[in-house]
Amino acid sequence: MPSYPADWQLTGTAGVGPFTTGATFRRRDGSTVDWDARSHRKHTGHTRVPARTWWIASLFSIGAACFAIGPLPAVAQRVGPRADALIFAVGAVFFTSAAGLSFLEAINAPDEIAEPDGPRRRGPFRMVAWRPHTIDWWANGVQFIGTIAFNVTTISGLVMTWTTRQQIVRVWVPDAFGSVCFLIASALAFAEVASTVGAFRPSRVSWWVVALNLSGSIWFGIAALGSFVLPATGEMVRLRADNVGTSLGGVCFLAAAVLLIPEARWRRPSSAPDSST
């Protein structure tokens, strides 16, 4: 957990396993401050949305839209198989760009907790950092690795002449690996929020963001299972599951990306001084 003002008293913490994801402090005047890792990292509750949030939201939105429309039969019939495969490849590139910015956001989170409306001191910009004690480092790092795997599978998917074995090894395996990475990353991100605001808190925008991302990862997992190519026949296990799972996953990720902007503007209700002090 980052450092905090010397005159604050730590009164409670929340977390998942070894990770501290939330804390409550009492100020000298008796009022309380609720801190959580995601809001701290994303600088939520301020009037100005950080430029990086706009970039992350925009890049994820474009990538998600590609995965949402790519599996639609009407699109595939309209543009042809190769162009349709290119839609997925473009979407994966945007996913990787957004995930890379998210990882940079995680490793450059402020090292101290400031007053809710006060200035925040930032250290030197870091391109890489070893921060395994923070849940967001794991969540964003695993997500970034997953997007790279999706780049491999979508670029490989541009080749229409693979044998069945080549399709399994070069297209399906990285797709399955990327889907597992997304499931792990989304579960960690959901745990980061749920541990501090409860398992079900639809009044908070952050909960919807992580819940939608988790739903999208589940749909991507279903798509990966359906896209496995049977060696005996050379056909997918369930083509419909692949298309529906990919498209619905893209819709979920798109909705989550759009909500990143209102999440950045969301303000937690302030706590009044404790009358007992």
* pLDDT tens, position by position, 65-96: 999 999 999 999 999 999 999 999 999 999 99
Q: Which two tokens stand for residue 56?
A: 């992350």
The answer to whether residue 177 sits within a structural domain is yes
The answer to whether residue 77 sits within a structural domain is yes
- Helices 205-226 and 239-265 pack at an angle, to 10 degrees, of 160
The answer to whether residue 55 sits within a structural domain is yes
The answer to whether residue 13 sits within a structural domain is no
Question: Model's pTM, two decimal places?
Answer: 0.89
Strand order in the sheet with 9-16: 9-16, 19-26, 32-36
Cα 10-190-46 angle, rounded to 5 deg: 60
The answer to whether residue 27 sits within a structural domain is no
pLDDT at 118 over 60: no
The answer to whether residue 274 sits within a structural domain is no
Number of domains into which the chain is organized: 1
What mean pLDDT is reported for the chain?
A: 89
Q: Which residues of 118-154 are buried (b: 16+ CB within 10 A; e: fewer)?
A: eeeeeeeeeeeeeeeebbbbbbbbbbbbbbbbbbbbb
Give the residue numbers spanning the domain of 131: 49-265
The answer to whether residue 271 sits within a structural domain is no
pLDDT category at 257 given cuts 50, 70, 90 is very high
The answer to whether residue 25 sits within a structural domain is no
Which tens digits make up the pLDDT trace of 23-46?
999 998 888 888 888 888 887 656
